Structure 1
Amino acid sequence: MASEVNLAQLRALVAVADTGGFGAAADELGISQSAVSHAVAALERSLGAPVLRRGTPCRPTPLGEQVLPHARTAVASAAAVRTIATRHSGGPTGTVRLAAPTTVCQALLPGLLRDWKAAYPQVTVRVFEGEDAELATWLEAGTVDAAVLVDADRPPPGAVALGADSMHALLRRDHPLAGQETVHVGELEDDDFLLSEGGCERHIREAYRRAGARFAPRHRIRDLNTLIGMVHAGVGVSVMPALALTMLPPDCVLVPIRPAVHRTLTLTGPSHRPWSPAVTGLLAGVGTTVPV
């Protein structure tokens, strides 16, 4: 090998893999694009083969895929060492990459971010919005340091329960069912159903299964704001979590469905590697710890 692998090279690899490009990685790391390119090139010389496929976006090569988990561990460990070394400053320090579903980003995170900024001014929290199924993968792969997981299975010690988020029918305010206290899902069969593919499909299917009602979505929509806009325009109806309330225009309402179905939300660090002191500090200040 031409030289030893160093932390700057691994940090550059992780940044390009996560952002998809050298320019975005440079912004992420606060260095020049040239410096990122040189670091990756030096890593490839040391390993004797490319670790990235150049393109839009950049993707890891097969070698890069094997190296990337170890690079993430090294970068995370270095960050933890820096954080531990500065704990004498009076509290946790560093950057926490936090992933969460869209509705959580809209409804819960703004309050948490305000509280964290006041309590832990030396911690920077960077939010990544994702779909339910992506979040656990990001967390365990080291793409993020913490995440709000939906229906988490055996969360690790220190995880925090953020509560249960019940499913509601999304209707225009002038819909005949909008004034009811609850709506049975069977009552929605007369309308075109818009299904969000962002992560709540299994909860919706469960409600229909329990009710013995026919589930036949007419439209499948990936973006939640698009779905809300279509309901607002009178295209149809939908079912979504109560936390979506903050996203609704005045002419739309949420009505609890029957049978009642909910999802649980858990704020946690990874299950299979140590948490950074910054993650531990943030979660300790939130509230209820999940029993383990």
Structure 2
Amino acid sequence: MESFIISGLALSTPILLAALGDLYAEKSGVLNLGIEASMIIGAYFSYHVAFFSGSVSGGLLAAVGAGLILALIHAVFLVLLKCDQVVYGVGINILALGLTSTIFRKSFATGNGYEKCPGLPKMDFALVRDIPFLGDVLAQQTILLFLGLVFLIVTIVVFSHTSAGLKIKAVGEHPYAADTLGVSVAKTRYAGLLISSIFGALGGASLTIGDLHFFQDGMTAGRGYIALAAIIFGRYQPLGVLVAALIFGMSDAFQLRMQIIGFNIPYQIFLIAPYLITLLALFVVGPSMAPRYNGKPFERGEEGF
């Protein structure tokens, strides 16, 4: 049971980081389907830099840098050029998948198995182990899980008790009203995309340098979309996102455990478990109250009062 929880928390980490980061973009009114691109880019470049430099901290910085660059691309197309957010999201995800696959195959001899890179150490020290009930489980996690939990608290405070959080929500609910009050809609959405892309990239890095220590084509396997589903399931609230990330992570751990046990059932049946649970969760939760202007570009002076 303990090993199942350890695996479930590790698999929840990338979804938690990506979903919490994307919450800032969604609440500012940007439908960021490109979170999948952020995750695969972060997963690959953190692995690439960690492998060739031998530095896991360098890998983390590479993930942040990749997320920053992708955020600027998102901002240009989604905020400045006001492209269709769904079409752009699908396109950037395909581009990121092809780009990482191409660079990976050019840089590594993939025919000889997976090349291991340095990985983040486990948080196995006395202060963590002494935590009641959860100490032994948390000691087997990396710092990225703790970063996700700290970021969760920060996000709750930002959206509940700060003027910055109020501005983000105002831009998502009614950008025209926010604009008349002097709030820069463009800058607010730039900031939301920046946070979304960086934490999405860190979520991807948690798969490579955090957990598996290798990379393979398409290894995010739709986790960016699951992160978006976690936001909807969590009703655009940080604590709801945490619950959703844990549910999806534990379901992923469950399907892995079922494959190991070796039932006389095609393993593909177990592989679909996380995605099936995602669909069922959205069905059970029902309609979610997204920000009113989520997915809609802002054009100053277009709407009056």
Q: TM-score when scaled to structure 2? A: 0.20
Determine which structure has the larger helix proportion and give its number. 2
| Structure ranking higher on relative contact order (CA contacts 8 Å, 6+ apart) | 2
Q: TM-score when scaled to structure 1? A: 0.20
Determine which structure has the larger strand proportion and give its number. 1
